[in-house]
Structure formats: C-alpha cells, structure tokens
Structure 1
C-alpha cells in the first residue's frame, strides 16, 4: 500500500508491497501518486514473475539514465554510450519479453565489427549493470541475458611508451618552450604533456588541478577527487614544479583558477591535433601515464609507486602501466 506524505516543500511517496519497500520525494502530490502506482504495479509483476509487455530495452536504458546514472562519476560517459545505443542499435527496439542470449550475442558481434574489443567490454559492463538493476529492483527482466553469453576476449594490455624523439616532436609542434609562458591553448597542451610525464597524473586530474591545491613549498599537489574516488597527493619533481610555475603569470591570479587552464576535452582534442602534424602513430595522451610510471619505477618501489599513481590493484599497475625497456633493466644488473 502506498503512503503519500507532505515533507517540507515536497511530497514523499512510500510503497511497501510483498516485503519490499520503495520511497521517493517529488515536487507535487500528483507526481508522488503516479510514481507510487507505477511502483505498486512493478512490485506485483516482480512478485508474480511477470515482465511488462509494453517495455523495450530502450525503456529500460532510458530509465537507467534517469534514475541510476545521475551523480555517478561516469555519468557523462554512460549517457553518451546509452543514448547512442538507444538511437542507433537494433537492440534498443527489442521487447524485454523477447530479450535473449541470442539478442545479446548479435549485439556483441555487431559492435565488434564497429569498435575495439576493449570498447565492447566497457559497454558490456554498463549494459550488464543496467539489466541487473532491471532484474533485481524493477522486475522488468526475468534474468540478465548477458550471463549466458560469451564475452569478447580481453585484449592484451597496452604497452606503448613515448620515445624522447616523439616527446620533442610533440613539444615543438605545440609551440611550447621553456623561454616563455605558454599563452596559446596548444602550447599549454605541450606543457600539460610534459607535466603528465613527470607526475603520472591523468588528463582529467591535471585539468581539474587548481592553485589552491598546489603546495609549491613542499613540492606536491593535492587531488581531492580521483578516478577511484579517493584523494591523492602527488610529489613534484623539480621539472614538474617548474612547469607549474610557468603557468602562474597566466592563471595564478586566483586560488580557484585551473592551473593549466584547460578542460579534459581541450586536452584530448588539441593533443590529437598536435599528433596529426607529426609522424607519430598509435599514441594517446593517456600513454604519458605509462611513460611516467615506467620512469618513476626506476626511483620508487612498487608500494610508493602505487601511492603516487593511486592504484589500489597492484596487478593493474604492473600489467598495464609498468612497461620497462629491456635496456633499462640490463643497466641495473651491473
């Protein structure tokens, strides 16, 4: 039975049915009543094992976007992926009552012809989570069909590193020079790349770094939020500190200013543009992280390295981001 109560400036709906409880707050009483009625039907369907006849995969994914994605750190990525699927892929039109392992395998094979296995695996995990919520919380599917389908093979870990010649090419094309502050956005990307190689920071972390979190006197920067949801302190080499200091005349007026004055999108787009003007192939900005960690591994043990990089799983650090050159290993033998 549903209970609708006035709470502050809104209306709170509470539904308790078949041993399950749901609640949500709305701006109007009518919205609360409508939601409560929908939930009662869903809980009855869940209890009886019924799948809604009028729902498709698109309906499930759109509800996931409305109710689950908001507030997640990966919300933008989830929205882009799911909106594209709902718009472009035949999977979206499949009624949930007809959803099967064959439907999912057909989607998998289509995507593998369009994008890399790594991309398909990321989309796979997102879809699987949506189906799990549809199963456990909404009663919209009888099972997660992805559990009965073979995943694409996990691709080999990337081991691309930058050579000094490539670094020099990219810096030259960007227009960055140590002789003057980087006044253009392209030159700032050159400085950002060099900073990434010194610190192993991700593009998004560099793009969100403000002057308030730069502790030059103690030679470190503080990252209050990172990919794994935990804060992190990153030590600065003298070169990294010098790169930051060169930004001060341009962005250092207020503590809230972004140090390098670039967004993640600008870093990505301009780095691609710079790379196209060189002879360099198969290189992503994120490869600077592997280059940095491989260099830092010559100075720090694995536990210190994990603290710098923020890795909680040492296997990922070892297999994905640590790619020592054999010449470096040989030089350490004697």
Structure 2
C-alpha cells in the first residue's frame, strides 16, 4: 500500500492512497482532515482487498464486531452472568478500536489503545480492576474464536501488558454509616418492611450478618429458608456450586422478619425487589445519607461479615465453607480487622502468660498511684 499526505503550492493538503491498481486522492483545507481521510481510506482499501481475496477462495471474512455478536449469542447467553456480559460486549463493539477489522488481523496494539483511552479519559475513566475484568472477558472471547471456531490462531490479549492489579479493599462499615443508610431507606431495624426501600435496608443487614451476596439474598425462595435447621440453602451460587449458609440467632431473626413481608401474586420469593432495583435504591440512599464520598459499597457488607465472623470462627477452612471460597487466600482478602479489634484480641487476659500478667499488674498499680 502507498499512502501520503502533502501540501500543495496553493496551501491546500492532498491525501493520496493506493493499493494494487486502485488509487484514491482528495484535497483538503486542513492537514488534520487529510490525515483522517487517509487513515479511513487505507482501512477501506485493505478491507476491500481482503474481501475480494476471501470471495476468490470461497472463504468468509469475520470481523471482530461480528465475532463478538456471535460470542454473545452462543456463549454469553448461557452464562449466569450472561445479561451483564452481553451488555459489556455491546460496549466493546461501540468502544474498541477497529472492531470492523477482520478478526484475523486484530492485534494487541488495538487493545492497548483501548486500555489507554478508557483509563485516561476525563469523564468516567475506568479503574485498573475494571480493565482487568474487560481483558478477562476479551481473552475468553478470543480463545473461543481460536479453539472452538478456528477463526484465528492466536489470542492478542496474551501479548498485552496489563495494568497492575489493585490492592484489595480493606473497607469496613462504620456504625454511624449503617444508621445513616437505614435512615435514608426509612427502615427501622426489627420491623417488617412494607416498601421496597425498606426491603433494601433489611437485605443489607442480612448481608452483614451472613456474608451472603446481594443476588443470593434477593433471589431466595421461601423454601430455601430453613429456620428450624438454622440455615439458608443456596442451590446454585456464583462459583457454580451449592452452599449452605449457617444462621446465628441474629441472622435467624432477620430472616424471620423477611418471611413476614407481604407478597403479591403468590410469589415464591422472599423479597419483591430485584437485584437491579436493590442496587439503584442503595445508591440513592447513599446519596441521601451524604456518603457518596465515603467510598462505601453494598458489597462491603461481605467484608464486614467476614471480619466479624473471623473473630468467632478460628478455623479459616470453616470460614471458607461459609462464604463459598474455593481458595483460602480469599479469607485474607475479606478478613479486614481494624487496629482496635486486633489490640483487643491481643489484650485478652486468658492468653497472657504469667510474666506478662506481672508486668501488667505493676503498670496498673503505677497508674492508680
């Protein structure tokens, strides 16, 4: 391919693009317009050539956008998180550079362009964790194209230098934050919710008491709540396995309130609010409570539950069983004790040897004196 942009004697800019026997030229007042036209026509000529070659060989060119749509229909559609993944794929089709390129010509450099663009934009830039999730989805897509369809023989995501994985959250929920959110949701602890906003308040308390995810709570059916056996049954969880969530007396009281919610249309679900509505209502309550700048999320309830339970359940494997973690390292991610909690545990007198008790007694006497 031959391509050039140059200024003529009259001050105008001329763009010239040629591939094989086809040539295109156009004159512009501005150089930037000429360069943009040049790039667009380079791509157009290249795609035309590839199309002709494919037709001659009786092959079919599959563009990245077409392959993404096929992946959404044939793979994402049948995933538990299919709805969100299909939404993300539509975002890729609208945002990824050169999605109209042939799939076989797609390169890692285009993904780097996407990475830089979405992380450095001034409005709603994506975090490193969001980009890493996108790369995970795209890697699965390209592997499907390679292994299942045979359309390509490489995965461009594997050649990309990815952003550094961010440090996991250590956010704990403060008591006053719970009070503010519940007030904003108009929910009084110990009462049976009569509105969807109040249901969100009870759902959040259950999440902090049990460590259950929002979707696991919202999607529960009445027959899943076994108060006589002190547990909630989760037949199908995020990681593809079933789970039994044990309930202490406080958690049982919360679920008892939930079971008394008035349901219409003979619904089998405990709550009438959907997970999407739950998210919207919680965000609105956070704004009303003036906590938008507090870096508080609903999912912090899972960290809170793990941190509180870890003080009572000393066996890390038991904690993994409760939360459904297949890898014990997740206990380190979700267990975030505060410094005061650690000090309180260190100061438990029953664990102090004699020599420590003698020192503590002397210093206590000095404080009294």
Shorter-chain TM range is: 0.7 to 0.9
Q: How does 1:233-272 map to 2 (within 5 A)?
A: 233-251=244-262, 257-272=268-283
2:233 pairs with 1:222: yes
2:327 pairs with 1:313: yes
Q: Distance in 1 between matches of 2:168 and 2:270?
A: 32
1:128 to 134, 139, 153: 139
CA RMSD of aligned residues (A): 2.1
CA deviations 1:96-128 (Å, max 9, x no partner) are 232112122112212223311111111101111
2:226 pairs with 1:212: no
For 2:343, the equivalent position in structure 1 comes to: 330
CA 1:179–1:158: 2 relative to 1, 3 Å? closer
Query: Contact 2:236/2:243 (CA < 8 Å) preserved in 1?
Result: yes
CA deviations 1:11-58 (Å, max 9, x no partner) are xxxxxxxxxxxxxxxxxxxxxxxxxxxxxxxxxx9xxxx996622110
Query: Contact 1:205/1:223 (CA < 8 Å) preserved in 2?
Result: yes
CA 1:332–1:255: 2 relative to 1, 3 Å? farther
Q: Which has the higher contact order (CA 8 A, sep 6+)?
A: 1
CA 1:299–1:88: 2 relative to 1, 3 Å? same
For 2:62, the equivalent position in structure 1 comes to: 55
For 1:143, the equivalent position in structure 2 comes to: 154
Structure 2 residue runs of 5 or longer lacking an equivalent are 1-53, 348-369
Highest CA radius of gyration, 1 or 2?
2
CA deviations 1:210-240 (Å, max 9, x no partner) are 1101111121111111111111111112222
Query: Contact 1:290/1:321 (CA < 8 Å) preserved in 2?
Result: yes
- Length, aligned pairs only: 285
- TM-score, normalisation: structure 2: 0.73
Q: How does 1:28-107 map to 2 (within 5 A)?
A: 54-107=61-114
Q: Distance in 2 between matches of 1:181 and 1:285?
A: 21
CA 1:186–1:216: 2 relative to 1, 3 Å? same
Give the 3-state SS of the residue equivalent to 1:234 in structure 2.
Answer: strand
- TM-score, normalisation: structure 1: 0.80
Q: Which runs of 4+ in 1 moved over 3 A?
A: 50-53, 251-256
